Amino acid sequence: MSITVNEHIKIEKIKKSKISQVDFDNLTFGQNFTDYMFECDYKDGKWYNPTIKPYGNLTLSPATKVFHYGQAVFEGMKAYKDDNGDVFLFRPEENFNRINKSSKRMAIPEFPREYFFEALHTLVQLDKNWVQAGEGNSLYIRPFAMATEVGVSAAPSSEYKFMIIMAPAQAYYTGDVRVVIAEHFSRSADGGVGFAKAAGNYGAQFYPTNLAREKGFQQVIWTDANEHRYLEEAGTMNVFFRINDTLITAPTSDRILDGVTRKSVLKLAEHNNIKTEVRRIEVSELVKAAEDGSLKEIFGAGTAAVISPVSAFSYKETVYDVPKQDDSFAKRFKKEMMDIQQNRAEDPFGWRYPIA
Ligand SMILES: *Cc1c(COP(=O)(O)O)cnc(C)c1O
């Protein structure tokens, strides 16, 4: 569905850039924001007043619905700069479609394509200096939508705000990721909102993830809520298992987020003639593969870190080490994906999206 728009995005210029205050060699992910942001409001059935303005605080009533009912969705995407200074997005169409899919599930009105892409283009152009060239550097882009009607009645909001903020990011080194396989808690359930990038999906993961942290693990691999029998995803990343030379990942469903990185890894695997299986995988199959040595790799796939190799997993009080591979699939996919993102390689799939 395409929604017609009849306003152009207004631009309020900054007085002075704050870029000189930022130490680009020591960035903490998601802490420093660029000079500009995008803001657009919804009321009486229409998105209106699309504006790019200096990044700054919002003033909202404490009774604003998003604070009480969590009616909010978001996206995560990146812009990259090549050595000629040209800037690219990576498959932004996927993020546009997905935020509207998430919004629909959360009863938030869909956002118009024209505004989304015009806002991205204009923002990234205005903040072009914040996109640094060089291996692993990027500009993290966070579109989000939230309920802004004032009032605590438990009904969908009649007013919303759609915004885009952006933060420079460096190569995201996750170190050795050790994971716990969920045996008790669940992230999502059949018929629920697991497939949506709904804000509350993250809030609900923090407590079980903290428990995992206390035991020396960084993340949880979620299993199906009914039986905790099938491996699903890591909650900010989709997960791949390499058994011998076959790459296995769970099929997407209403419990599992349809990641752009996951989709891209599957495509690259096909391109590299690597055998892939998109199917349900039981925890017992993983344990057995770890015991008999056929488990070669586990890695997560998501926009923030691209690919994160997993070095160990814990299940029923036993810790299983995942062997280190010299020529790992993880390394290969990360390199191929980043070479496409940063315009160092051919783009046979048409994933790069130039910002003129
Ligand atoms: C965002 C997200 C991912 C990764 O998706 P990408 O499009 O690859 O960044 C995976 N799982 C969940 C739950 C997510 O929210």
Domain ranges of the chain: 3-169, 177-341
Q: What is the mean pLDDT of residues 135-145?
A: 96
54-72 pLDDT per residue, tens: 999 999 999 999 999 999 9
CA 188 – ligand 1 centroid, Å: 14
User: Is the beta carbon of 309 within 6 A of some atom in ligand 1?
Assistant: no
State the pLDDT at residue 235.
Answer: 84
Please determine, looking at this structure, whether the domain spanning 177-341 carries the CATH number 3.20.10.10.
Answer: yes
Distance CA 24, CA 171 (A): 11
The confidence band for 5, taking pLDDT boundaries of 50, 70 and 90, is confident
CA 197 – ligand 1 centroid, Å: 8
The confidence band for 175, taking pLDDT boundaries of 50, 70 and 90, is confident
CA 303 – ligand 1 centroid, Å: 7
CA 270 – ligand 1 centroid, Å: 21
Top CATH class, 3-169: alpha beta
Pocket test for ligand 1, best of 78, 238, 252 (most atoms within 8 A of CB): 238
User: Is the beta carbon of 303 within 6 A of some atom in ligand 1?
Assistant: yes
Give the closest residue (by CA) to ligand 1 atom 2.
236
Render 161-211 in DSSP notation, one character per residue: EEEEEEEEE------SEEEEE-SS--S--TTSSTTS-BHHHHHHHHHHHHH
**Cβ-defined contacts of 323-328 (< 8 Å, 24+):** 323/293, 323/295, 323/296, 323/297, 325/296, 325/297, 328/296, 328/297, 328/299
